[in-house]
Amino acid sequence: MGSEVIAQQDAQYTQYMYNTVSVNPAYTGSRGHLSIAALHRSQWVGLDGAPTTQTLNIHSPIGYRGVGLGFSVVNDKIGPTSETYFDADFSYTVHTSREGRLSFGLKASAHLLNIRFSELNQDYTNSNGPDPTLQHDIDNKFSPNIGAGVYYRTNKFYAGLSVPRFLETTHFDGAVLSTAQERMNFYLITGYVFDMNAYVKFKPTLLTKMVMGAPLQVDVSANFMLNEKFILGAGYRWDAAVSAMAGFQVSSELLIGIAYDRETTELGQAIFNDGSFEIILRYDFISRINNLKSPRFF
């Protein structure tokens, strides 16, 4: 007897607009200088075994020939399962107009999988005792992957399409009673910055994620930047959650952002679920010779 369960695969981000390089390698180097970002997410706080995610990425343009290079680490833990991705990103950018830039990106990944079957409750009421196929943990099982993306931007608009991982790797096939297969995740991102007046900028954004066998995920958000310093916003994950976001541009180089999600599903009504929290720190090594007037809002 067997069953199939469809669940979250790629890590989920509410502040995806500040963490674009994690889902689209073509974003690499697009900020015009060396940029480092670190993010932590605790999902469904209070629920035993709930997902936690940490990401660290660094990327920069290289020289003046349109090349960008980057490196990132993503650690995702759900219950007894933990996954770590080491990603190397490459991009090449061409000028399409005075303001337009079109970038093509490639991502190469090394994936490490750990599963602690020994942490599962195996107190089965059958004469044979615990399932013998669940007595051996999986330690640092390695699998490679590749991905690609395109990204277009102007001074106020951006849009990107990407598949971070093409290879649909199957884990522990034949070793246990169930099989886990990584599927291709398709991402579409877009946003626009409106100058409401000299002190207020308004940025609506959209992220759409599609994976075979799971519901379409659509995230929409609206952020306001006040006086080039304070960011306030809200978001909605279609049929799943509502979000509140805030940020502070400490300086032209340093951004701090926080987010809180509350589920709109039955899971959000559970007394053991206090919602999801996320924090991101981003530092841009801006050269003063660039005469930057204000921080980039995407």
Summarize pLDDT for 92-137 with one digit per residue, the tens. 999 999 999 999 999 999 999 988 777 665 554 455 555 555 556 7
Q: If pLDDT is split at 50, 70 and 90, which confidence band does 5 have? A: very low
Which is higher by pLDDT, 267 or 258? 258
Q: What is the pLDDT of residue 203?
A: 97
Q: What Å distances lie between residue 261 and 20, 42, 145, 221, 274, CA to CA?
A: 19, 10, 31, 12, 9
Q: If pLDDT is split at 50, 70 and 90, which confidence band does 169 have? A: confident
End-to-end CA distance of the chain: 49
Cα–Cα distance for residue pair 124/121, rounded to 1 Å: 8
Burial of 98 (0-12, 13-18, 19+ CB in 10 A): exposed
Q: If pLDDT is split at 50, 70 and 90, which confidence band does 212 have? A: confident
Q: What is the pLDDT of residue 293?
A: 53
Burial of 234 (0-12, 13-18, 19+ CB in 10 A): middle
Q: What is the pLDDT of residue 180?
A: 56
Q: What is the pLDDT of residue 250?
A: 95
The whole-number average pLDDT for the span 239-264 is 94
Entry pTM: 0.86
The two structure tokens encoding residue 176 = 């246990």
Return the CATH number of 26-290, one of 3.40.50.970, 3.30.70.380, 2.40.160.40, 1.10.1740.10: 2.40.160.40
Compute the radius of gyration of the chain from its Cα atoms.
Answer: 21
The whole-number average pLDDT for the span 143-149 is 95
Cα–Cα distance for residue pair 181/148, rounded to 1 Å: 20
